[in-house]
Structure formats: C-alpha cells, structure tokens
Amino acid sequence: MKREVSAEARKAQVMVEQAMGDITRATRKVLMDYVSKMYVVSFAKAIAYLGLESEDALDLLNSMNDETRRQVEAFAKDYQKSDARVISEVEHIVTSSGMDFTDDYKIIKDNIILSGKTFAENAVHNFQKETPIFKKKIEDCLFCFEDFQYLDDRAIQKVLKETDMQELAKALKGASTEVQAKIFRNMPQRSANMLKEDMEWMGPVRAQDVDAAQANLVKIVFRLSNNGDILLTLKEDYGKLYI
C-alpha cells in the first residue's frame, strides 16, 4: 500500500530536490566555464608562441568562430613568446605529443663546430629566439658534462672554486676517465686525493643523482661563461665556439 506523503514532507522534498539541482547545475557550469576558459587561454598561449601575426597563427584564428577568435586574440595580446607561462604551456603540448628529437640533437652536437663560428653563433641565436622551449636542449648540444675535458685549465679551476666537493664527487662517479683526469689535474694533490677517497667511500650512486650533480656543474659553466669569467670551448680539434 502506497504511503501518502504529507504536504509538509512534499514541500521538503521539493526544496531538497531544487537545492540539489542548483548545486549540480552550478557545478557543471563552473566546470564548463573552466574548460572553456582554459581552452581559450591555452589556445592564446599557443598563438602567442607562433606569433599573433604569423601565417600559421592567422590560419588557426581564421578557422574559429568570431566569438572564440575574439577571446583568443584578447588573451594572446597579454602574452609574449618568451613568457614562462607560454613556454611552459607549449612545452607541455609538444612533450605530450610524443615527438622525439634525439637524432636531430645528435646531428646538431656533432656538426655545430664544423659549421663555423659565425654560422654556429647565428644558428644558435636564431633557434633559441624562434624555439625558446628548447633553449636548454640546444645548450646541451653545445656543452655537456663530458665536454669538461675541452675546457682550459684556468676555466676548470674557476669552476672548481664554485663547486661543492660532495657534488663534484657525485658528478665524477659517472664521468669518463678523461674528464676525471682533467679535474684531478687541476686540483691540489691533497685535495685530489681526498676527492678520490670520498668517491670510494661514497659507493654506488643513483644515476639520477649523478645526472643532477653533473647538470649543476654545467650550470656553473654557463653562468661563468655568460659573465665573461671563462671562455667556453668545445672539441678542441675543431677550434673554439664563443657563446
């Protein structure tokens, strides 16, 4: 037998249903607004990276309806290609696509010096300006930890003055004998012996810790080079490249 609902109970049910409906609709609207705005903002960052007046950007804008285009252009004008927010967004998009440029970077690294000093400087400058999301990648093509063996003794000594010995010990755990020899040769004998002992006592070091330590030393090299304190040289057999 169906139980009758009192007027008071029915009124309460209606109010509960309305309140729940309000919450559900408001939540959906917030999500839709968020997705819509994020879509437009992401589009704007990509357009800013391409260049608002570039042919590629104009092709994309022309494919949008008037309202979306207006919103994208308005947001894009607030961004510059070199903005960290723009670079982060584009880097995420490119990385998510699964593209792999390993072979291309190897070609660059193997041939940049052979291309000649003037060409190399211009090519690197233009690439970093046109494709700033890969600034770090192109720097790695120009100098990596193994290239320490090509730095002159004065540069090595300046880098060592800026370097924590524990960090150096970790970095050398994954270095070639050539790099290790170059480093040890530019240290006082007693310091070199102590560093070797530290490396022995340290035992096995995780690959990611070695990579992090080596990356920190490379950062020191770039900082000193940018400040004019050292001359960054690569592959001495091919001459010098001034960065």
In a domain? residue 220: yes
Same-domain check for residues 75 and 149: no
Residue 3 confidence class, pLDDT cut points 50, 70, 90: low
Mean pLDDT of 86-91: 86
C-alpha span between 205 and 174 (Å, rounded): 9
**Helices 7-50 and 66-76, axial angle in degrees (round to 10):** 60
Instruction: Among 79, 96, 113, identify where a domain stops.
Output: 96
Residue 232 vs residue 187, higher pLDDT: 187
In a domain? residue 243: no
Instruction: Among 113, 141, 169, identify where a domain stops.
Output: 141
For the domain that residue 181 is a member of, what is the CATH number? 1.10.220.30
pLDDT in tens, 130-188: 888 888 778 777 778 888 988 889 999 999 999 999 999 999 998 999 999 999 999 99
pLDDT in tens, 5-51: 688 887 887 888 888 888 888 888 777 776 567 788 888 888 889 88
Residue 239 confidence class, pLDDT cut points 50, 70, 90: very low
pLDDT in tens, 197-214: 999 998 888 988 998 898
In a domain? residue 16: yes
Same-domain check for residues 20 and 71: yes
In a domain? residue 206: yes
Same-domain check for residues 156 and 123: no
Overall pTM > 0.75: no
Same-domain check for residues 131 and 171: no
Same-domain check for residues 191 and 147: yes
Instruction: Among 96, 113, 130, identify where a domain stops.
Output: 96
Mean pLDDT of 121-125: 82
In a domain? residue 197: yes
Same-domain check for residues 155 and 228: yes
Same-domain check for residues 62 and 24: yes
User: Domain span at residue 118?
Assistant: 102-141
Matching residue, tokens 């080596």 = 214
**Per the structure, how many domains does the chain have?**
3
Position 237 scores a pLDDT of 39
In a domain? residue 1: no
Position 102 scores a pLDDT of 82
Same-domain check for residues 16 and 86: yes
Position 106 scores a pLDDT of 81
Q: How far is the CA of 38 from the CAs of 68, 108, 238, in angstroms?
A: 12, 36, 49
Same-domain check for residues 44 and 117: no
Question: Residue 242 in contact with residue 121, Cβ under 8 Å?
Answer: yes
In a domain? residue 120: yes
Asked whether the predicted pLDDT for residue 90 surpasses 80, the reply is yes
Same-domain check for residues 125 and 201: no
